[in-house]
Amino acid sequence: MNISVLISVYDKENPQYLKEAIASVINQTYKPKQIVIVKDGELTKKLDRIIYNYKNKFPELIDIYKLEQNQGLGFALRFGIEKCKCDYIARMDSDDISKNYRFEKQINYLEKNKDIDILGGYIQEYNKTMEKKLSIRRVPLNNEEIYAEIKKSNPFNHSTVIMKKKSVLEVGNYRDYKIEDYDLWIRMRKKNMKMSNLDDILVNYRTSYSMYKRRTGIKYLKGIIIIEKELLEYKIINKLEYIKNVIIRTFLAFIPSSIKMLLYPNIVRKLK
């Protein structure tokens, strides 16, 4: 079973983190067939240097595509999905580190469960420098549990998922949404596609103040409201669940980022 790995990069990325992220994909015990790197707009010289150094070392493995202007993650991933050659596509963030067994565990599971359309797993959250473990973000495991969780929260860690390309395209691919991954899972749920997560930590994930800041304020809340309306429109939730979700999400959106960073792993996540 061959897989493509999809990574989007923009100019604010940390070059060292990007280097470590790509290395973690290349050094897997189960080797990918293709790594698609989408440059979301003009990058810094340091970022370009890292990308093209890897391209020179692995010319048959890495395919690089450039968007003329920064379009945002949803647009970049939509573009990148089309460039992936394999039947299965693995997502990888440009600042995290995949465990070297990640693809092997996921492919072994998918070989035995060919009806699964999307498969993810847990992440180990670290501080920005990966020096301190913070918490494990666990997600529901089987299809029934994921269907229940998707009504109130994102049931996947985006940077851990492997998806069938045909399934992603069937529901219209990624869209240019504020919360592009949750939107995609909802449309896959509407089509009753099969979903699963492994009971394993697959990715070491960097957390930072900026990450929590992106999940705070009016702009983020507007994205959440769009998601909630989508859940209601597709009859995944009812009106009462919609009102409850919006109230909780509104409260969470206005917790200051600094406080959210301290509370999120335990209290905030339980509220969600």
DSSP characters over 102-127: HHHHHHHHHHH-TTEEEEEEEEEEE-
Render pLDDT for 176-209 as a digit per residue (tens, 0 to 9): 877 899 999 999 999 999 999 999 999 999 886 4
Fold of 3-207: Spore Coat Polysaccharide Biosynthesis Protein SpsA; Chain A (3.90.550)
Task: Give the separation between CA 245 and CA 5, rounded to whole angstroms.
Answer: 33
* Residues contacting 177, CB < 8 A, separation 6+: 74, 183, 223, 226, 227
Render pLDDT for 218-249 as a digit per residue (tens, 0 to 9): 777 888 889 999 999 999 999 999 999 888 88
The residue count of the chain comes to: 272
Each residue's pLDDT, cut to its tens digit, for the chain (272 residues) gives 999 999 999 999 999 999 999 999 999 999 999 999 999 999 999 999 999 999 999 999 999 999 999 999 999 999 999 999 999 999 999 999 999 999 999 999 999 999 999 999 999 999 888 888 988 999 999 999 999 999 999 999 999 999 999 999 999 999 987 789 999 999 999 999 999 999 999 999 988 645 555 666 677 788 888 999 999 999 999 999 999 988 888 877 777 655 655 665 554 454 44
Contact status, residue 272 vs residue 139, Cβ threshold 8 Å: no
Q: Is 64 helix (H, G, I), strand (E, B) or coil?
A: strand
Q: Quote the pLDDT of residue 213.
A: 53
DSSP assignments along 80-103, one per residue: HHHH--SSEEEE--TT-EE-TTHH
In the chain, domain spans:
3-207, 209-272
Q: Is 195 helix (H, G, I), strand (E, B) or coil?
A: strand
